[in-house]
Amino acid sequence: MSGNPNTVAKQRQNQPNRHSLEKRLNRWGWIFVSLSIVLITIFVFIPMIGALIMSFQTGKGVNMHFGGLTNYIRLFHDQTVGKALGNTFVYLIFQVPVMLILALIISVLLNDKNLKGRTFFRVAIFLPCITSLVSYSLIMKSIFSNDGIFNQMLANIGLSPIMWTTDPFWAKVLIIISITWRWTGYNMIFYLSGMQNIEPSIYEAAEIDGANFLQKLTHMTIPLLKPIILFTTITSTIGTLQLFDEVQNITQGGPANGTITISQYIYNLCFKYTPNFGYAAAVAFIVVALTMLLSIIQMKVGGKENQ
């Protein structure tokens, strides 16, 4: 059955217009993408390539020259690098799981529609992550100093004060407390947004079948949030590997490098000690390698369906 000749003619007339519109949209799309590519190349990729080249150079200031693998060989004999890596992994192993589990529990509680004042609690828990890093670090240092408010409270109830900033163990605990306080609300927002996209009828069917709170959490909520949990795990891992502000402002890496991180050591090599930018760049690529390695491992563990 043949179509109406007039309709066919109109469709043929509209086809060139449609193609020209698609070409214009594609052209503008490539223009916007090209601007982003140029900016990322200038401010990200070129500095990365420059840092990689610098990591093979030795010398001071403008008198740098090619030194081969000298800086990378030095890494294996630098005790401070080992200390900084050890401290960084302590923060990573203990702080990240505690923070993510706490964020998940809080988000489950604040997702309850029957909870009064849940908006207030959401804002209150999220606020720390938008405070100034320097400001909150100095406040934590003041609260937990040897003669700070916390130790005064302990003294008032007859307990011995804790040397938060002068004992290596307690100094690490203070850093973990500070990071957890600041970033738990950040991860909570991701979990809350994920939970609000879960169909309520799923939970209603589970309740009809007799599922309790814990069963719904472990067999429904957590499996459905696996992609978001994977995302927050990777971003939290990357953030911890780059940890600098809290350590620099609370303990300055002390006592005796007891809390120093790899990022702070890179800063010290560049600006605190006699500047050695080549060696600092080599140390920085440890962070790059660890970030890539841990991200790949986490994505493999998370499964292809969550990538």
Higher pLDDT, 60 or 282: 282
- What angle separates helix 118-126 from helix 168-196, to the nearest 10 degrees? 140
CA 33 to CA 25: how far, in whole Å? 12
Instruction: Based on the fold, state whether residues 48 and 99 are members of the same structural domain.
Output: no
CA 96 to CA 91: how far, in whole Å? 7
CATH number of the structural domain spanning residue 186: 1.10.3720.10
Residue 15 lies in a domain: yes
Give the CA distances from residue 62 to residues 71, 175, 274, 275, in Å, rounded to whole numbers and listed in that order: 17, 37, 14, 11
Residue 172 lies in a domain: yes
> 219 falls in which pLDDT band (50, 70, 90)?
confident
3 state SS for 67-93: CCCHHHHHHCCCHHHHHHHHHHHHHHH
Q: Is 144 exposed, middle or buried (0-12, 13-18, 19+ CB in 10 A)?
A: buried
> 116 falls in which pLDDT band (50, 70, 90)?
confident
Q: Is 305 exposed, middle or buried (0-12, 13-18, 19+ CB in 10 A)?
A: exposed
* Count of the separate structural domains present in the chain: 2
* Both structure tokens of 30: 């490539």
Instruction: Based on the fold, state whether residues 84 and 49 are members of the same structural domain.
Output: no
Q: What are phi and psi of 16, to 5 degrees?
A: -60, -40
- Single out the residue of 259, 264, 291, 268 nearest to residue 91, CA to CA: 259
- Indicate the Cα dihedral angle 110, 114, 116, 118, nearest 10°: 20
pLDDT digits (tens, 9 = 90+) for 80-105: 999 999 999 999 999 999 999 999 99
Residue 143 lies in a domain: yes
Residue 63 lies in a domain: no
In this prediction, residues 203-216 reach a mean pLDDT of: 85
Alpha-helical regions (H) of 197-225: 200-208, 213-216, 222-224
How high is the pLDDT of residue 35?
86
Instruction: Based on the fold, state whether residues 34 and 149 are members of the same structural domain.
Output: no
Instruction: Based on the fold, state whether residues 91 and 36 are members of the same structural domain.
Output: no
Q: Which residues constitute the domain of residue 34? A: 5-54
Q: Which residues pair with 66 in a beta bridge?
A: 57
How high is the pLDDT of residue 1?
45
Residue 19 lies in a domain: yes
CA 176 to CA 59: how far, in whole Å? 37
Q: What are phi and psi of 66, to 5 degrees?
A: -65, 130
Instruction: Based on the fold, state whether residues 46 and 83 are members of the same structural domain.
Output: no
Instruction: Based on the fold, state whether residues 17 and 122 are members of the same structural domain.
Output: no
How high is the pLDDT of residue 266?
94
Instruction: Based on the fold, state whether residues 36 and 86 are members of the same structural domain.
Output: no
Q: Are 183 and 239 in contact (CB under 8 A)?
A: yes
Instruction: Based on the fold, state whether residues 177 and 32 are members of the same structural domain.
Output: no
How high is the pLDDT of residue 175?
95
pTM of the full structure: 0.84
> 16 falls in which pLDDT band (50, 70, 90)?
low
pLDDT digits (tens, 9 = 90+) for 25-47: 678 888 888 888 999 999 999 99
> 5 falls in which pLDDT band (50, 70, 90)?
low
Instruction: Based on the fold, state whether residues 79 and 21 are members of the same structural domain.
Output: no
* Both structure tokens of 251: 């303990």
CA 100 to CA 84: how far, in whole Å? 23
How high is the pLDDT of residue 192?
92
Residue 252 lies in a domain: yes
Instruction: Based on the fold, state whether residues 134 and 189 are members of the same structural domain.
Output: yes
Give the CA distances from residue 266 to residues 34, 50, 180, 257, 305, in Å, rounded to whole numbers and listed in that order: 33, 16, 24, 13, 37
Residue 65 lies in a domain: no
Lowest mean pLDDT among 151-160, 199-208, 287-296: 199-208
Instruction: Based on the fold, state whether residues 245 and 138 are members of the same structural domain.
Output: yes
CA 46 to CA 116: how far, in whole Å? 52
The owner of tokens 């491992």 is: 297
- What angle separates helix 79-110 from helix 118-126, to the nearest 10 degrees? 170
How high is the pLDDT of residue 58?
87
Sign of CA dihedral 50, 56, 60, 65: negative
- Single out the residue of 235, 294, 284, 292 nearest to residue 264, CA to CA: 284
Lowest mean pLDDT among 18-22, 89-93, 137-141, 174-178: 18-22
Higher pLDDT, 298 or 85: 85
Residue 67 lies in a domain: no
Instruction: Based on the fold, state whether residues 18 and 150 are members of the same structural domain.
Output: no
Q: 3-state DSSP call for residue 276? A: coil
Q: Are 162 and 154 in contact (CB under 8 A)?
A: yes
In this prediction, residues 169-192 reach a mean pLDDT of: 94
